A = this chain, B = another copy of it.
Amino acid sequence: MSDHAETTVQQILASERFRRAAETLATEHDRTVDDIIRLTEIEAPSFNENVRARTWHDMAKAHGLDDLEIDAEGNVTGIRRGIGNGPLICVAAHLDTVFPGGTDVKVRREGTKLFAPGVGDDTRSLAVLLAWLRALDAAKIDTRADILFVADVGEEGTGDLRGMRHLFQRGRYKDRISAFITVDSPNMDRIVTGGVGSKRYRVTFKAPGGHSYGAFGVVNPMFAMADAISRLGRVPVPAEPKTTYSASVTGGGTSINSIPNSVWTEFDLRSVSVRELNELEERFLRIVDAAVAAENDIRSTRNGPVSAEITPIGDRPAGHTSESHELVRFAQAAINAKGFETRFESSSTDANIPMSLGIPAIRIGSGGTGAREHSLEEWIDVEPEASLRGMEAGLATLLAVAGVV
């Protein structure tokens, strides 16, 4: 832990203005909870975040952000200006949930617990961004950096980080953001500094097929597929940087007495290292080619050869932010100061995109507790003590990064 980071955070936490901001978080906590419920009850499956985006846009409007808008990809973006000539830092929460349209998203309250799909991942964070804006304004806190507040689309599954890709690679803030914090899910103790990259493929092996007895001897796409899976299973990968693969889901075939026309498997390749992931991907693609060639060599292609149709179904870049980077140290200091243990983790979050571009990025929590994410039994606890401690830790992190005047 650097003295600088600890000192900076301690000064912020001890300041009169931060105390006022924390007070505002406390007095406005019921409003924050109302915001969580309101946003949670607007369904927002990936690729269908627009109603929730519009609602968050209108809620943010009250807080006087500059350039508040919904960008071409569907992200809501708006700037809280610093004192001028500072860098641009970004804090984000994602609008989308894993739950398909039609899922019952009504929030059930039991004491301080809120039950609803998506309530913690990541709807609570959307409300926390608004709470931070109110606290900063009430306390009249000025920052050196401009802070870009973002409610982004496409973090989950097939969304494949499309919101972040737009923000960092195509939109108006492209090449301007110098640090990135995503607030994703409640728990405070995990600081994500590693962005696990993934490449996902569905490979369909096709051939003419035929009767299992009558056409025996012709190529069987099942053998090509099995060979590809077996070869992948023998690929050595480093434990550090952690690199993994899986043959995950499979299907196909006509009937017990038929050589299949078509069988498929879905493959998941991951690494925290861009280089390792690219190497693994190249090796995997060569393996598929080799397995197809081997089957066409071993058995007869008189009715036609086996071929492989390789369809990318996911591509998340890997990345990493050094645990010694100031951004990480500020977060660790602020979260520890507010009484939480911290550990570093690798995961797949919105931070993958900036990490992959060399921009320092982390994931922190939105405060309080919660569990069962990605299940219909998802819940969060909005009990004020731990919730406010977490929100204060996050706000202190943001201010340490942005610099308080």
Chain A residues engaging chain B, CB cutoff 8 angstroms: 196, 198, 200, 212-213, 216-217, 220, 222-223, 225-230, 233-234, 242, 244-260, 263, 265-266, 268, 270, 295, 298, 313-314
- A212-B268, A222-B265, A226-B226 known; A259+B248 contact, CB < 8 A: yes
Which residue of chain B has the shortest Cβ distance to A222 in the bound complex? Answer: B247
Known: A212-B248, A222-B246, A223-B229. 9 other contacts (CB 8 A): A200-B256, A216-B270, A222-B250, A223-B230, A225-B229, A226-B226, A226-B228, A226-B247, A246-B259
What residues of B have a CB within 8 angstroms of the CB of A212 in the complex? 244-246, 248, 268, 270
What residues of B have a CB within 8 angstroms of the CB of A196 in the complex? 213
Q: List 6 A-B contacts (CB under 8 A).
A: A213-B268, A222-B229, A222-B246, A246-B258, A248-B254, A256-B313
Distance A332 CA – B227 CA, assembled complex (angstroms) = 46
Q: A86 to chain B: closest CB distance in Å?
A: 37
Q: Is the CB of A213 within 8 A of B270?
A: yes
Which residue of chain B has the shortest Cβ distance to A233 in the bound complex? Answer: B223
Distance A308 CA – B115 CA, assembled complex (angstroms) = 40
Option from B198, B253, B259 in Cβ contact (under 8 Å) with A250: B253
What residues of B have a CB within 8 angstroms of the CB of A247 in the complex? 220, 222-223, 226
Q: A230 to chain B: closest CB distance in Å?
A: 5
Q: A16 to chain B: closest CB distance in Å?
A: 44
